[in-house]
């Protein structure tokens, strides 16, 4: 590829000659060049790359002048880092010499499957031809600048977590670790940190039926047959769940783009263009608000997909947290309440990937509460900026109102990478808003204060276990009703409608479980997920067939995962983004069967201290009445610590029996010792030993006499 312009004069001569011919043609028609029906306008492609001044942008397409603005006159400059003298074709492709739409647009770079016309060259299927060209966002010696390689391996691009979770719960695969992505992708950089859960590759999701092969026409014959699963999970993923990855089409009534543009172009809520390009109809929905790219993704663009975050979307020009779109009055996450954007906490490696393939979200995210707030034993880790080419300096040049410099002491993430917007100033930890420019003083945990003094809590609980105020509860969105109008074996692309009950969001007090990092975290406890398959007459039909043999007829089908646990009764460790300064009460954990995953109801302790004789009386008894189960539908574990819910996260589980017994035992102390700072909790073993002594019984007797 030639980057340094060498034939600009020759092309300039061609341009002048063409314009003279055009003017003669207009004169022959009786029109003077001054009153042409088409007035030719052009852009001189004179830009060079900021970090590579020897690289001329014109060298990418060998175009030194472009006529695109003859028609697109008034279109906005896309960004300060992509100025007008970049031209159009370096990103969009096309014939920049032509003023005929058909010819100019014939070679535009776009994904024909995206459903957004020819205007987006950043779809991940074609991005190497645009954003991923050498020296743009690929080909750098610094790996963090090769965004395209990282994004294509990110969780948002692969959907590996969603795919592996659903396939495991529906017994389409026997392990929790991801095997498949939306498309096949391999990690070929020679660095695969297996200890952090990284994978060497992901294959393309299998097909449900051989007749689904049209979705991937490159697979023929035996290769196609080898990739047929005959599990309805794979049809469900393709038909419904794939609405969420970076190259997916938005849901009806929502407007966003695909690929890089999904996060870097903003849309109005009405999906209408507000700019000055005369070729774009102001009444045609599905266009960005303006032909403008933002390096700093606004929060309300994030929440188009990540809906349950404590922010209600109003318009894409505001990031003010206004409330959760559920039931009742819901407390805001303290970070949103103070004016944080999502990108103020989450790093580019969290969002765009760090170059590794992961199975689950917790493996990909590098920030923790302790990253900025520290713990009881130590303050956050820091590192000084010594290199003027450090990425934290380069990236901060895109931030609003401030920038980093050599000598700044930055906070480190869990992966020992410097945060770009959290640093020490005047002996305080300051978080800077990347987009807002605001300064937030970040409090740290200090040893010796009255809070955070219970050693067992500090060792065994994530911060979110106490500080999360709610978890979202989704109803309807994952219960499927499929009506098949032909071919009752559900093989092939017959006419079918996929219906979901009306979905609703409300919030609930978090139940708790052991998370994938081995500490107690909030549980996303969801209603049963079921599947119903009906023919044209409304009769249940077979979902799976092999050699013509029906395996069952499914109406309100509940799933079983490969380890024999329920795949429709789910438990999922989550960080719900509902952090509050105030913590939940002691009783809400230590006296609540629901918080422990036992379900709503009352516990009746037995005579044995082990808890083996304990009984549970459930409030919700529909499963018992229908003789489906001896447990409540909302129970995730029984009193003996046996899981009732399926869990797709590696390392995550409900509480075991000894943990349940230990947690409930503290509840006996709460009537007298109901404060977090009570000294008995500083050494609970010593307190339990005192509880058995006559002196303790005497204290209780005195209290009774006092009452």
Q: Are residues 643 and 530 in the same domain?
A: yes
pLDDT score, position 260 = 95
Q: How many Å apart are CA 592 and CA 574, to the nearest integer?
A: 19
pLDDT score, position 472 = 83
Q: Are residues 34 and 160 in the same domain?
A: no
* Three-state secondary structure string covering 34-50: HHCCCCCCCEECCCEEC
Is the pLDDT reported for residue 479 higher than 70? Answer: no
Q: Are residues 228 and 176 in the same domain?
A: yes
Q: How many Å apart are CA 85 and CA 48, to the nearest integer?
A: 9
Q: Are residues 254 and 336 in the same domain?
A: yes
Tell whether 397 is covered by a domain: yes
Q: What is the average pLDDT across 302-310?
A: 73
Q: Are residues 555 and 650 in the same domain?
A: yes
Strand partners, 65: 44
Tell whether 274 is covered by a domain: yes
Q: How many Å apart are CA 209 and CA 523, to the nearest integer?
A: 35
Stretch (H or E) spanning 102? helix 101-105
Tell whether 18 is covered by a domain: yes
Highest mean pLDDT of the ranges 247-256, 427-436, 695-704: 427-436
Q: How many Å apart are CA 21 and CA 27, to the nearest integer?
A: 10
Band of pLDDT at residue 683, cut at 50, 70 and 90: confident
Tell whether 553 is covered by a domain: yes
Q: Are residues 305 and 402 in the same domain?
A: no
Dihedral of CA atoms 163, 168, 173, 176 in degrees, nearest 10, equals 90
Is the pLDDT reported for residue 226 higher than 60? Answer: no
What are the tens digits of pLDDT across the range 382-423?
A: 999 999 999 999 999 999 999 999 999 999 999 999 999 999
pLDDT score, position 631 = 87
Give every CB contact of residue 495 below 8 A, 6+ residues apart in sequence: 484, 485, 486
The number of beta carbons lying within 10 Å of the beta carbon of residue 126 is 21
Q: Are residues 168 and 242 in the same domain?
A: yes
What are the tens digits of pLDDT across the range 142-168?
A: 999 999 999 999 999 999 999 999 999
Tell whether 122 is covered by a domain: no
Q: How many Å apart are CA 290 and CA 266, to the nearest integer?
A: 8
Dihedral of CA atoms 108, 111, 116, 120 in degrees, nearest 10, equals -50
Token code pair at residue 350? 């969290």
Q: Are residues 697 and 622 in the same domain?
A: no
Highest mean pLDDT of the ranges 206-210, 316-320, 365-369: 365-369
pLDDT score, position 441 = 96
DSSP character for 30?
Answer: T
Q: Are residues 495 and 642 in the same domain?
A: yes
Tell whether 251 is covered by a domain: yes
Q: Of the ranges 107-116, 303-312, 661-670, which one carries the lowest mean pLDDT score?
A: 303-312
What are the tens digits of pLDDT across the range 119-129?
A: 999 999 999 99
pLDDT score, position 508 = 84
Q: Are residues 383 and 301 in the same domain?
A: no
Is the pLDDT reported for residue 313 higher than 50? Answer: no
Tell whether 133 is covered by a domain: no
pLDDT score, position 628 = 73
Tell whether 322 is covered by a domain: yes
The pTM assigned to this predicted structure is 0.85
How does 196-219 read in b/e, with b if 16+ C-beta sit within 10 Å?
Answer: ebbbeebebbbbbbeebbeeeeeb
pLDDT score, position 5 = 41
| Alpha helices per DSSP H over 231-303 | 232-239, 261-264, 299-302
Q: How many Å apart are CA 507 and CA 525, to the nearest integer?
A: 11
Write out the residue range of the structural domain in which residue 250 sits: 143-345
| Alpha helices per DSSP H over 199-298 | 221-225, 232-239, 261-264
Percentage helix, strand, coil, to 5, in the chain? Answer: 25, 15, 55
pLDDT score, position 195 = 93
Q: Of the ranges 35-44, 187-196, 242-251, which one carries the lowest mean pLDDT score?
A: 35-44
Q: What percent of the chain has pLDDT over 70?
A: 79
Which of 296, 324, 345 terminates a domain? The answer is 345
Q: Of the ranges 83-97, 111-125, 487-501, which one carries the lowest mean pLDDT score?
A: 487-501
Count of structural domains, the chain: 5
Q: Are residues 664 and 596 in the same domain?
A: yes
Mean pLDDT of all residues in the chain?
83
Q: Are residues 262 and 300 in the same domain?
A: yes
């Amino acid at each position: 590829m030639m980057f340094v312009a060498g034939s600009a004069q020759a092309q300039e001569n061609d341009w002048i000659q063409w314009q003279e011919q055009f003017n003669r043609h207009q004169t022959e028609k009786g029109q003077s060049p001054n009153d042409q029906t088409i007035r030719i306008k052009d852009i001189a492609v004179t830009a060079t790359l900021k970090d590579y001044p020897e690289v001329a942008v014109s060298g990418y397409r060998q175009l030194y002048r472009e006529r695109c603005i003859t028609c697109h006159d008034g279109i906005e400059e896309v960004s300060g880092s992509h100025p007008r003298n970049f031209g159009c074709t370096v990103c969009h492709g096309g014939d920049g010499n032509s003023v005929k739409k058909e010819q100019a647009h014939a070679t535009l770079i776009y994904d024909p499957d995206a459903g957004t016309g020819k205007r987006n060259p950043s779809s991940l299927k074609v991005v190497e031809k645009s954003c991923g060209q050498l020296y743009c966002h690929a080909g750098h010696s610094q790996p963090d600048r090769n965004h395209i390689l990282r994004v294509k391996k990110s969780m948002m691009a692969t959907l590996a977590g969603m795919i592996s979770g659903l396939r495991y719960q529906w017994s389409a695969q026997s392990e929790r670790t991801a095997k498949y992505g939306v498309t096949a992708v391999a990690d070929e950089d020679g660095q695969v940190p297996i200890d952090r859960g990284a994978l060497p590759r992901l294959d393309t999701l299998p097909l449900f039926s051989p007749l689904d092969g049209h979705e991937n026409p490159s697979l023929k014959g035996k290769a196609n047959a080898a990739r047929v699963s005959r599990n309805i999970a794979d049809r469900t993923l393709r038909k419904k769940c794939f609405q969420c990855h970076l190259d997916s089409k938005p849901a009806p009534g929502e407007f966003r783009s695909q690929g890089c543009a999904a996060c870097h172009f903003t849309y109005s809520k009405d999906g209408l263009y507000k700019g000055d390009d005369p070729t774009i109809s102001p009444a045609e929905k599905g266009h960005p608000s303006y032909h403008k790219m933002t390096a700093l993704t606004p929060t309300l663009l994030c929440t188009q997909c990540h809906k349950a975050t404590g922010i209600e979307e109003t318009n894409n020009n505001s990031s003010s947290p206004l409330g959760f779109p559920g039931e009742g009055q819901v407390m805001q996450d303290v970070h949103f309440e103070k004016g944080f954007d999502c990108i103020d906490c989450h790093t580019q490696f969290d969002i765009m990937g760090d170059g590794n393939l992961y199975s689950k979200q917790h493996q990909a995210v590098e920030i923790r509460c302790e990253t900025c707030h520290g713990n009881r034993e130590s303050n956050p880790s820091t590192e000084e900026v010594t290199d003027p080419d450090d990425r934290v300096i380069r990236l901060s040049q895109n931030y609003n109102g401030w920038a980093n410099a050599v000598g700044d002491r930055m906070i480190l993430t869990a992966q020992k990478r410097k945060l770009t917007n959290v640093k020490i100033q005047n002996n305080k930890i300051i978080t800077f808003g990347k987009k807002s420019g605001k300064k937030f003083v970040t409090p740290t945990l200090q040893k010796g204060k009255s809070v955070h003094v219970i050693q067992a809590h500090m060792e065994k609980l994530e911060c979110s276990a106490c500080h999360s105020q709610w978890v979202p509860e989704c109803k309807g969105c994952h219960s499927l009703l499929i009506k098949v109008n032909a071919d009752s074996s559900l093989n092939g692309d017959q006419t079918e409608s996929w219906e979901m009950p009306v979905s609703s969001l409300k919030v609930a007090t978090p139940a708790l479980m052991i998370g994938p990092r081995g500490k107690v975290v909030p549980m996303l406890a969801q209603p049963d997920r079921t599947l119903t398959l009906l023919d044209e007459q409304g009769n249940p039909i077979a979902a799976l067939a092999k050699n013509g043999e029906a395996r069952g007829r499914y109406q309100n089908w509940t799933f079983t995962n490969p380890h024999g646990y329920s795949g429709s009764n789910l438990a999922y460790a989550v960080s719900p983004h509902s952090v509050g300064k105030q913590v939940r009460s002691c009783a809400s954990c230590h006296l609540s069967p629901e918080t422990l995953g036992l379900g709503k109801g009352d516990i009746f302790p037995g005579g044995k201290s082990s808890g083996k004789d304990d009984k549970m009386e459930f409030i919700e008894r529909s499963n018992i009445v229908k003789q489906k189960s001896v447990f409540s539908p909302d129970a995730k574990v029984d009193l003996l610590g046996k899981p009732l819910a399926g869990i797709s996260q590696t390392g995550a589980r409900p509480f075991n029996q000894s943990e349940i017994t230990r947690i409930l035992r503290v509840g006996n102390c709460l009537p007298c010792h109901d404060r977090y700072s009570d000294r008995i909790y500083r050494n609970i073993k010593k307190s339990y030993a005192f509880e058995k002594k006559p002196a303790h019984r005497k204290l209780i007797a005195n209290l009774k006499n006092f009452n």
